[in-house]
A and B are shown apart, each in its own frame.
Chain A
């Protein structure tokens, strides 16, 4: 079995996955304290990862009824992410691998989001277009075969889709993370009340949308619940439109009719409905496999080249901006 660790951002994650892609344990320690601080992290990643990494790995072994003796390959997210956060999981995983002279597979976080599709019980195999939309990433990828570097079809030029949800929610006085509360508020609103920009061209751009909402919140009566709901619904429509239209274009450009979704924005109901209506064969992983998790890192490790002991000991992480899929 594979032991995988993921600490690229806020969550401390460990998973055990069998060599044929069955999830034996998938532990995610969300820093739920964030919500209490309105999106502000009271104590960021690195320190809490340090506190959580050992208990999270222990919990994965306990849930799988396994021990390090059962592990044949260790994997960890190498990047992209916050260097200090990545280092905690990467170093812990390397140390566990080295303790038993096991091979080690460094995995790209975005390759992990793609590989979530390969996990049992519903493996979805290439070729497909992957739409990865989260707080930190918004990408459309053409995935032709497992393990091969995907072709980037579209990326964000400024903000990520999940960030657009979070910041829009903030402007509407909602909590953090903003996706779910914004979606709830939007249910009572008219998505066509306001015409917000959803970006031009092949790539994503959400900065103009953010500014457009800010101006509206200044001009309108934000004490009026219907106005807030209409703003939320119209803002959400702009984000969903941007994602769905570009996903449709990406499928055409890649000559594919299969679409896999990844990243936390996959939780958005209207996005799921609109993508389902595209007519492509759609793969929606379980939500726990869409948000950051280590099972997807193990899945990517099934196809990633592993390094033999001790070749991986000097390996370093890479920050966002430095990785292969930047």
Chain B
């Protein structure tokens, strides 16, 4: 963790509040940046990314990319695509073609990464690290670093 890194803690009471928090945080992001989104199964990673993606102008349905590994959502902004990666099914990126996920990273894109623990460090330094935790029912504790 970089010494200047900021830690912010939030608690949301449901899907809508999680999406709204993500939408607010999305205003901090710039072209080419990466956001790591961690949390166990059902913690709300895809929900969080849906809120952020919509705030960034994504028009398509934001769904879980676990199977496809990567989704790309066009936005209303010319030249910006929201990318949504999910490394859940990967053992890491060490044995992969370095170009495998290149179409989901870099200029013209803002990239959200689920399950970054599975080799996500190889994708680049994230602007934000988000961690979601179940805190009973629909409540979620959300920590944002960076």
**Chain A positions near chain B (C-beta within 8 angstroms):** 8-9, 34, 37, 39-47, 80-84, 134-136, 155-160, 162-163, 166-167, 170-171, 207, 210-211, 213-215, 319-322, 326
CA distance A4 to B23 in the complex (A): 42
User: Given known contacts A82-B68, A84-B99, A320-B68, is B42 in contact with A158 (CB within 8 Å)?
Assistant: no
Q: At the interface, yes or no: B90 with Cβ under 8 Å from chain A?
A: yes
- Residue of B with least CB distance to A214: B42
- Residues on B with beta carbons closer than 8 Å to the beta carbon of A84: 97, 99-103
Q: How far is the CA of A84 from the CA of B104 in the complex (A)?
A: 10
- Complex: A236 Cα to B50 Cα, angstroms: 26
Q: Which residues of B contact A162 (CB under 8 A)?
A: 67
Our pick among B64, B65, B100 for the contact of A44 (Cβ within 8 Å) is B100
Asked if B69 is at the interface (CB within 8 A of a chain A CB), the reply is yes
Once the chains bind, are A320 and B65 in contact (CB under 8 Å)?
A: yes
B97 to A46, Cβ gap below 8 A? yes
Chain A residues whose CB sits within 8 angstroms of the CB of B100 once the complex forms = 44-47, 84
- Taking Cβ atoms with an 8 Å cutoff, the residues of B that contact A are 40-42, 44, 46-47, 60-74, 84, 88-91, 95-97, 99-104, 118, 134
A42 to B91 CA separation, bound complex (whole angstroms): 6
The answer to whether A163 and B66 touch across the interface, beta carbons within 8 angstroms, is: yes
Are A135 and B40 touching (Cβ within 8 A)? no
Nearest-neighbor residue (CB-CB) of A84 within chain B: B100
Q: List 9 A-B contacts (CB under 8 A).
A: A40-B91, A43-B95, A83-B103, A84-B101, A135-B66, A158-B47, A163-B64, A321-B60, A326-B60
B67 touches A160 (CB 8 A): yes
Taking a contact as CB atoms under 8 Å apart, the answer to whether A40 and B90 are in contact is yes
Q: How far is the CA of A195 from the CA of B40 in the complex (A)?
A: 22
Which listed residue, A207, A214, A320, touches B134 by the CB 8 Å rule?
A214
Closest Cβ neighbor of A171 among chain B residues = B41
Contact: A210 with B42, CB < 8 Å?
yes
**Contact between chains at B63 and A159 (CB < 8 Å):** yes
Q: Which residues of chain A are within 8 angstroms of B61 by Cβ–Cβ distance? A: 155-157, 326
Q: In the complex, are the beta carbons of A41 and B71 less than 8 A apart?
A: no
B121 to chain A: closest CB distance in Å?
Answer: 17
Report A60 CB to chain B, min CB distance, Å: 25
Q: How far is the CB of A164 from chain B (nearest CB, A)?
A: 10
Given contacts A214-B42, A319-B103, A321-B60, contact A136 B67 (CB under 8 A): yes
B74 to chain A: which residues have CB within 8 Å? Answer: 321-322
Q: How far, in angstroms, from A157 to B88 measured CA to CA in the complex?
A: 19
Closest 8 CB pairs of A and B: A136-B67, A211-B42, A321-B71, A83-B103, A319-B72, A135-B67, A210-B42, A320-B68
Check A156/B63 contact, CB under 8 A, given A47-B96, A47-B97, A81-B68: yes
Cross-chain contact B67 with A43 (CB below 8 angstroms): no
- Known interface pairs A41-B90, A160-B67; 6 further A-B residue pairs with C-beta atoms within 8 A, sorted by A's residue number: A41-B89, A84-B102, A134-B67, A159-B66, A207-B46, A211-B134
Q: Which of B41, B46, B101 has the most CB of A within 10 A?
A: B41
Which residues of A are found within 8 Å of B96, using beta-carbon distances?
Answer: 43-44, 46-47
Chain B residues whose C-beta falls within 8 Å of the C-beta of A9 in the assembled complex: 67-68
A215 contact set on B, CB distance < 8 A = 134
Tell me whether A159 and B68 are in contact (CB under 8 A). no
**B66 proximity list for chain A (CB < 8 A):** 135, 159, 163, 166-167
Minimum Cβ distance to chain B for residue A95 (Å): 19
Given the complex of chains A and B, what is the CA–CA distance between A80 and B44 in angstroms?
Answer: 24
With A9-B68, A321-B71 in contact, is A40–B89 under 8 Å at CB? yes
State in angstroms the CA–CA spacing of A84 and B42 once bound together. 28
Q: Residue on A with the closest CB to B103?
A: A83
By the criterion CB–CB under 8 Å, are A44 and B89 in contact? yes
Evaluate contact between B91 and A158: CB separation under 8 angstroms. Answer: no
A322 touches B99 (CB 8 A): no
Of the candidates B41, B68, B101, the one whose C-beta lies within 8 Å of that of A136 is B68
| Cβ contact within 8 Å between B67 and A163 | yes
Query: Are A44 and B70 within 8 A (Cβ)?
Result: no
Query: Please, which residue of chain B has its CB at the minimum distance from the CB of A83?
Result: B103
CB contacts (< 8 Å) of B63 on chain A: these are 156-160
Decide: A44 and B46 in contact? CB cutoff 8 A. Answer: no
A33 and B103 CA atoms in complex are apart in Å by: 26
**Could you say which residues of chain B place their CB within 8 Å of the CB of A326?**
60-61
Q: Is the CB of B60 within 8 A of A80?
A: no
